Structure 1
Amino acid sequence: MGKSQKKKSMRRHNPMRVPDTHLPKGLASASSTSTKNEAILPIIQKMESPDASDRKWACVAVSNLIQNDPSTRRLLQGKNVVGALIGRLTDSEDEVLVEAMGALRNLCIDGGYDICAEMYNKNILAPLKTFIPKISTVLSQYLETPKTAPENAQRLMYDFAENVITTLWCFETSNKALNAINSINLIPFLMSFLASRDKLSIAPVVAAAQCLYVLTDDNDPASATVKSDAGYISCLLSIAQLHTHPANDNGKYAGDHRQITLRVLSSGILRNISPLPQPSAASVVDLDREIILPLLQPVISSVSLVVSASRVQQLVDGLASEPQIEKLSLQNAPNSDHKSNSEIELEQLEANLRMVQLALEILTGVCATLPDPSAGVEGETEDRDDEDDIVEDDEVMKEMNIEVSGKGDGSVNFMSQSSLVPSLLALIQPGSLSFPPLAAPSPHPPTTSALSAIHISAMECLNNIFLSLATSFSSSIPADVEDGRKVWDEVWASLGVVGTELGLGQERRKEMWEIGVGVLWGVALVWKGKLSATEEQIQVLIRFCDGAPDERTKVKCVGTLECLAQYPQSIASNQVIANYLLTLLPTASSRSTAGTETLIQAASALIDIYSDETLPYDVNFRQGGMLQILVASVEGVRKAVKGIDRKKSGGKDLRRRGEEVRDNLVAFIQYRRDLGLQT
């Protein structure tokens, strides 16, 4: 069945907190859509002022102006605010330096990939490298003699450390940037925060854990460094296993979300570096069963998305009615850390949502429980004929180079997975703030970004769960058809709310659909022959398949339709699906308009659907003259398979798969001819 493709670049940086893909490109368009044009020039001018208070004001103003405002952020970018702020990182005044670092950090978080790339290209790592030993030295002094440093000085250093670490975390967006960060040897610096967590402010500790979590994700040098130090592993285990914030009577976590986030991050780091080195006490710990699942299951059910979204809307409406300072001035310069109670609560709500998103991200790996494909299938000798179709579907996915999202080691059984499903189904249901239409932008983009990320991550978890179930060969799993029907209906309900506005600025909707179709394929495969679909659902799948820009999504759609066509009593639906699949094949006079992978899947699907001539819907095959259509397609299929370039990525496996289907098609035609069945 369909597996979520692992998107390393997406995992290396959260989705853009304040999306701007809906905005036209160019400085002129940014100027026309921003309401703060008049404030831009004074900021840029004062950034270079000889007066330190002017320079500090300019840095603070950047942080305030870009808040939830992508148009103004773009306008500032066009005026080289990034270069100006990087220049302030060597300022002679510490307060200016701190505010500049904070503004750069905020730009990274709000702006995402493009701004991070711009900062990297403008060599921000040069000053950041110099800050790391300085921060370490000052923090060591605080730890040795905590009472000697004024409280405001400590707070300033903690804020500065958090901003530096968070900025470094945001840069881990490409191999080029990652290699540069690896050369800094950040691991000892980051681990020092975790080791001294009880003596430090929680904010930089969580930032260090977040940076370490992203740094160890599919990054062998960083993972090897952590694994090489038993003290590091022991520290991470001790954090992940803390029970200072137990679940309350409702099974939900109580306490500081930052402490819980720290535990979640530590469990994610341990999973990134697993398997843990032997021999050690840590190596005998079953991470998934003993640590990760008991920790994360309560986390993902700890927040009501409906309640959170409703409260955000109330707070935003309240803020809109408050009097605003129309113009920035030196007399009315806001402090970078000054926030109203409503703004603080909004940040708290977003942090809780991000905590759930993080837990789901880690769970995608836990839900990916397939054994290593290279391990073979020894010992599976009974009932193999009944399982060949499932094995074949799994082989299709491997040959498409579609991977499980995260690391799977087979340690989580079906009962563990099934207990997650109700929580995950609740988390895929969008609300009014989740995917707002382009014509009515979100009143609070950070909440929308967090909600859509949660929906997508929960859908990925479901995708991996049903991938695992579809290849488990357990006859007991599909016994309760009502379970399959419930998941099927819930996924369709979710996609119905997401809608089909998939254009510019609606990329998250598109991603939700692409993953959602994978879940539908998994559910249909687990309950193949026992699950029916409505006429509308079938038509939606056909339209989505036709409109999908990539082969992987098309194959998922075809795979889902293939399973639905095998519901014995759905003769009409079978006919609609079969007729559509036939349009994807070449004819005697024309090539297929579908891609080669889609063509191969369609041919394989038709063979599978009509492999049993005793089923009620086989009448469609005979009356529809499908045998003659398949005969006419053989030469076109052969040419398409022969045209697969083995040298391209995945080409060798696809060619092998194509040759197998081509041979099966010829054998199937002969089989149907030999039956001699008439209409």
Structure 2
Amino acid sequence: MGKLKKNSRSSRHRSNPLAVSRKATSSKQDEQLTKNKILPLIAKLKSTTPNEKSMALGSIAVMSDDPKFRKLLLKERLVQIVLEQCLTDSNSEIVVESFGLLRNLVLEEGYDVAVYLWRQNIWRVIQDNLNKCVKGWHVYKVDATSLDKVAKSLLFDMIENLISLIVGLCDSSDDIFNAVMKEMNSLREFLKDILAVALDFKNKELKITVSLFNAILDLIYDFSTISDEFVQSLTSEWDLNFELLETFVNEVPRFTNLSRVYIQGIRLQLVDISDQSAFVQIVAKILGTLTTIDIGLNRDIMLKEIDNGKLDELKMDAKKRVDARAEFQTVELSLELLTAMIELISYNDSLDAELANALCTQVRDVLIALIPHLEFRSRALTALNNLSWLFVSIQVPQWTSIAQQIWVELSQLDLSQCDVEEKTSIFGCLWAILNVVPLELDSSFVQSLCQELDSNSSSSDNVEYSIRLVGVLSMLAKQQGQVERNLLISQLLFNLLESDKTPSRLTFEILDQLYDIYGDSLYDYNTPVFVSQCYLKRLEQLAPRVKTSFKLVDKNVDKEFKLKAEEIYNNLGRFIDYKKSEV
């Protein structure tokens, strides 16, 4: 229960073409943008004319998709002004749009904006507006015709924006999530009531907007990735038949790709990890949806310059962008699910042929195909890393040739154009592949890896990247018939061990790998390298420093690393004794 964990709440920003396409601007250009575009819009948020204020909110919502504009807007106290001037407005449409803007800002900016809002008592404002929504929903439930089209649309949009804002806030902070969970009973009962009325299984009809339905699914899925207690409540308190719901969503054309993938995400929370046939079905559903999405078309819609001269046109363009963003979110969510599902599958001792084939072919092909799309490259590489390590722990015959093909694809990437997170996954894949296939890599590539590790080893921010490089180099150092390569790599590893600048996490990883590299005196490089270079003496001299490093690891900060460091430190004495016995 609650098995599918997110890598990082702070990483749950929406995939955004603008984030990878916008060129940097100078401070002078920023000043001009602020003067000519930002400040006039900010001023209109204080207008007493509803249309003018609504136009400003719509324009700002579009501009805030762009990281550059968003930074400039936030610098001019956008959030505070929205709280003071817009959420308190008597015009319901402006209030709805304001919550939508805050939702977007929280999803994009994460912790900083979320915590600021929380300290401004946004939860009380949310609760007050939720209470209004409960009353409005009761009116709609009793007699749907009592609300005209505009009033009904505002009600649904308000509920949707509030739910999405709650999810964004909870994703940004454990403290916020825990505070919201204490108030979950009333929110759950409201959402259950909405679903009970909205889902007409008999007539195959949805009586709310698809976007509101998706927002509810998002909350259910999102909270279930964070809390075991919430997952347990899905079967005990939500009164939802998820099998029936999945059939309903698949059979009603009105639902979107995002709806269908959310259902698979929730289903994944409830599946038994030994039920491999269920994994096969989930994979098929996710990939079946994913392969229908035209990434290029949706990217063009999101990048299109919008003429904000007319309110109606602005709203129409905004709707297209929302739909395009939902398609991007579907791709993002699909990758998140595939990544987590592969991790869950790894708890099995073996794989059924059907599941192994799906992972080796269809999943692999989709992940490789997504790498060229910069918005999804990092997530696709993370999933591919998980897939590569799965087949280290569970070996299947067809993976050997497939692993080689994967490295051929990855080796064509320009590493200078990849960020640290992407390179971490790339070399994580290579490390895993080398555990299965002894790839023949030329000496210039090995030397470049050594240089890369040497230049990054002192950075405490990129320790995981350095660890992946150490893993790759250690696998290469173990290859027989490569004594000079072993010498090159081992000299670097020992130099890093002896450096005061090497983070302790990397120090212990290097030690652990050295035990493996020199764990057998029969290796052809043992005598000409380990013995000739007096590595045993250097390890003995390092022992006191390693002991100090181990004792400095705070188990209250990182219990898992403390345990690993203790094991590696204890093994150092055993390894030294073992190497002495070889002499």
TM over 0.5: yes
Distance between the aligned counterparts of 2:373 and 2:320, measured in 1? 17
Q: In the alignment, does 2:465 pair up with 1:553? A: yes
The match for 2:214 is 206
The match for 1:420 is 359
Query: Cα–Cα, structure 1 residues 411 and 360, in superposed 2: closer, same or farther, change >3 Å?
Result: farther
Cα deviation for residue 662 of structure 1 reads 0.9
The match for 1:334 is 311
Cα deviation for residue 368 of structure 1 reads 0.9
The match for 2:328 is 353
The match for 1:382 is none
Mapped contact 2:403–2:433 kept (Cα < 8 A) = yes
2:432 counterpart letter in structure 1: G
Mapped contact 1:638–1:662 kept (Cα < 8 A) = yes
Cα deviation for residue 218 of structure 1 reads 1.8
Q: How does 1:9-20 map to 2 (within 5 A)?
A: 9-10=9-10, 14=14, 19=19
Mapped contact 1:98–1:160 kept (Cα < 8 A) = yes
* RMSD, matched Cα: 3.8
1:453-500 deviation per Cα after TM superposition (whole angstroms, max 9, x unaligned): x3222222222233332223x4xx36864233112222333xx23x23
The match for 2:202 is none
The match for 1:128 is 126
Match of 1:486 among 405, 409, 419: 405
1:15-63 deviation per Cα after TM superposition (whole angstroms, max 9, x unaligned): 67854999999xx959725635234444444433444444434433432
Of structures 1 and 2, the one with the larger relative CO (CA 8 A, separation 6+) is 1
Distance between the aligned counterparts of 1:573 and 1:209, measured in 2? 53
Q: Secondary structure at the match of 2:222?
A: helix
Cα deviation for residue 622 of structure 1 reads 3.0
Distance between the aligned counterparts of 2:400 and 2:280, measured in 1? 31
Distance between the aligned counterparts of 1:469 and 1:563, measured in 2? 16
- Identity rate, percent: 19
Distance between the aligned counterparts of 2:442 and 2:365, measured in 1? 21
Q: In the alignment, does 2:288 pair up with 1:298? A: yes
Q: Secondary structure at the match of 1:171?
A: helix
Cα deviation for residue 358 of structure 1 reads 0.4
Mapped contact 1:60–1:335 kept (Cα < 8 A) = no
The match for 1:181 is 180
Mapped contact 1:135–1:157 kept (Cα < 8 A) = yes
Q: Secondary structure at the match of 1:95?
A: helix
Distance between the aligned counterparts of 1:165 and 1:55, measured in 2? 24
The match for 1:506 is none
The match for 1:387 is none
1:576 counterpart letter in structure 2: L
Match of 2:341 among 366, 382, 391: 366
Distance between the aligned counterparts of 2:350 and 2:149, measured in 1? 48
> What's the TM-score, normalizing by structure 2?
0.82
Query: Cα–Cα, structure 1 residues 114 and 18, in superposed 2: closer, same or farther, change >3 Å?
Result: farther
Match of 2:383 among 438, 441, 461: 461
1:128-186 deviation per Cα after TM superposition (whole angstroms, max 9, x unaligned): 11222322332343344333322232222222222222222211210122123223323
1:106-140 deviation per Cα after TM superposition (whole angstroms, max 9, x unaligned): 43344444333332222222221122232233234
Q: In the alignment, does 2:441 pair up with 1:533? A: yes
1:72-119 deviation per Cα after TM superposition (whole angstroms, max 9, x unaligned): 333332332222222322322223322323333343344444333332
1:488 counterpart letter in structure 2: W
Q: Secondary structure at the match of 1:427?
A: helix
Distance between the aligned counterparts of 1:187 and 1:410, measured in 2? 38
1:282-333 deviation per Cα after TM superposition (whole angstroms, max 9, x unaligned): xx977843652332232344446xxx33x4676688x56x9x56xxxxxx45
> What's the TM-score, normalizing by structure 1?
0.72
Query: Cα–Cα, structure 1 residues 182 and 604, in superposed 2: closer, same or farther, change >3 Å?
Result: closer
Distance between the aligned counterparts of 1:289 and 1:316, measured in 2? 33
Match of 1:37 among 35, 38, 41: 35
Distance between the aligned counterparts of 1:228 and 1:140, measured in 2? 25
The match for 1:63 is 61
Distance between the aligned counterparts of 2:183 and 2:336, measured in 1? 27
1:185-233 deviation per Cα after TM superposition (whole angstroms, max 9, x unaligned): 232333444442422111110011112222222224433433422613x
1:338 counterpart letter in structure 2: K
Unpaired runs of at least 5, structure 2: 200-205
Distance between the aligned counterparts of 1:345 and 1:57, measured in 2? 17
1:517-547 deviation per Cα after TM superposition (whole angstroms, max 9, x unaligned): 22221221233xx333232432343233231
Mapped contact 1:129–1:184 kept (Cα < 8 A) = no
Q: Secondary structure at the match of 1:91?
A: coil
Match of 2:70 among 61, 68, 73: 73
Match of 2:45 among 47, 56, 71: 47
Mapped contact 1:105–1:163 kept (Cα < 8 A) = yes
Query: Cα–Cα, structure 1 residues 359 and 71, in superposed 2: closer, same or farther, change >3 Å?
Result: closer
1:84 counterpart letter in structure 2: I
Query: Cα–Cα, structure 1 residues 629 and 338, in superposed 2: closer, same or farther, change >3 Å?
Result: same
**Which deviates more from structure 2 when the two are superposed, residues 484-493 or residues 288-297?**
288-297
Query: Cα–Cα, structure 1 residues 14 and 556, in superposed 2: closer, same or farther, change >3 Å?
Result: same
Cα deviation for residue 424 of structure 1 reads 3.5
Query: Cα–Cα, structure 1 residues 417 and 564, in superposed 2: closer, same or farther, change >3 Å?
Result: farther
Distance between the aligned counterparts of 1:312 and 1:224, measured in 2? 37
The match for 1:565 is 477
Query: Cα–Cα, structure 1 residues 469 and 119, in superposed 2: closer, same or farther, change >3 Å?
Result: same
The match for 1:630 is 535
Distance between the aligned counterparts of 1:592 and 1:83, measured in 2? 46
Q: Secondary structure at the match of 2:256?
A: helix
1:432-457 deviation per Cα after TM superposition (whole angstroms, max 9, x unaligned): 761xxxxxxxxxxxxxxxx2xx3222
Mapped contact 1:369–1:411 kept (Cα < 8 A) = no
Distance between the aligned counterparts of 1:481 and 1:569, measured in 2? 22
